[in-house]
Amino acid sequence: MLWIIVFLVLLFIGIYSFLHLFTRHGKGFLLPDFSGLSLVEAQEAARPLHLRLEVTDSLYIPELPGGVVFRQVPPPGRHVKKNRRVELTINSLLPRQVAVPSLVGFSLRQAKAELAAIGLKPGRLIYTPDLATNNVMQQLYQGQPIAPGAPINIYSAIDLVLGMAPGHELAYIPMLFGKSLEAALDILSDHSLNTGIITYDQSVLTAADTLAARVFRQSPDYSQHPEWPLGTAVHLTLTINPDLLIPRQIPLTEDDL
C-alpha cells in the first residue's frame, strides 16, 4: 500500500514539473503596442520577444500613414508568452478609386447620402446667394470643378457650392462635447457649418488613441440661437483623458425657463 502512495506522489510531482516547464510559468511578459509602426518596425520590436506577427487584414484610413499597424490581436498590455501569434491589421498604402457622382441640384442632405454611399465625404461648404438654401450649385475637388464620373480616391472630400436664400444666412452651433471626430464632422455639415482646425491634446499618443478620441473643446462654443453665418468654421480639440470628458452642465437661458 505504501509503495502505491509513493508512486502517486512521484507521478503528481512529475506531471506538475512537466506542466510548469511546458507552460513557462512565470516567464510571460506584457504584449507591446505595435500601432503606428510600419510592418518592418513591428517585426524588429517583436523579434527579441520571439513573437510571431501575421498580417491578417488591411483597410484604408486617410488620416493615418500608409503601411502602419492599425489594430492588433491580442491587444497591447495582454500577458503573453514566447512564440505567441499576434494578428495585425495594416493601413493600406494605396486606396481604391471611385467615380464622383453628379450632385448639382441635390439638397445638402441628399448630396451627403450620395457621397457616403460610395465612400466619399463632403468637404468645405461654400455659400453663395440663391433662391434656395443648401441646394448644390457646383461640386469641387481641391478647389477645382470636378465632373461626374471622374475617378477619385475613396474617402476624398468633395467641396460643395451651396445656395443661401435671403433670411436664411445664419446657423446655430451644435453641442459637440463627447462626440467622436467622425460624428462631429457629420453634425457640423448637417448644420451648414465647416470643420476648422482639429487638434489633439497630450493624452493622444497612438493611432488607436486618435480613433478613440472625443471632442472636449470647441470654438465657437455651443449656441442655442442662429447667430453664426452659414459655413462658419468650428475648431475642435479632442482627448482620451476621461477627466476631461465628464459631462458639463449647460446653463439655462430665459427661453428654457
Q: Is the pLDDT of residue 231 over 80?
A: yes
pLDDT at 12: 57
Torsion over CA: 77, 74, 67, 45 (sign): positive
The answer to whether the 2-91 and 95-168 domains have the same CATH topology is yes
At 215, phi and psi to the nearest 5?
A: -70, 130
162, 128 in Cβ contact below 8 A?
A: yes
d(CA 142, CA 243): 38
- CATH for 170-257 is 3.30.10.20
Please list the helix, strand and coil fractions of the chain in percent, rounded to the nearest 5, in that order.
Answer: 25, 35, 40
- CATH for 95-168 is 3.30.10.20
88, 51 in Cβ contact below 8 A?
A: no
d(CA 48, CA 43): 9
Q: What is the pLDDT of residues 99-113, one digit of tens each?
A: 999 999 999 999 999
Q: What is the pLDDT of residues 141-190, one digit of tens each?
A: 999 999 999 999 988 999 999 999 998 899 999 999 999 999 999 999 99
**The domain made up of 2-91 is a member of CATH 3.30.10.20:** yes
Q: What is the pLDDT of residues 4-55, one digit of tens each?
A: 665 555 555 656 555 555 445 556 888 889 988 888 999 999 999 889 999 9
31: its cell numbers: 504584449
Q: Where are the domains of the chain?
A: 2-91, 95-168, 170-257
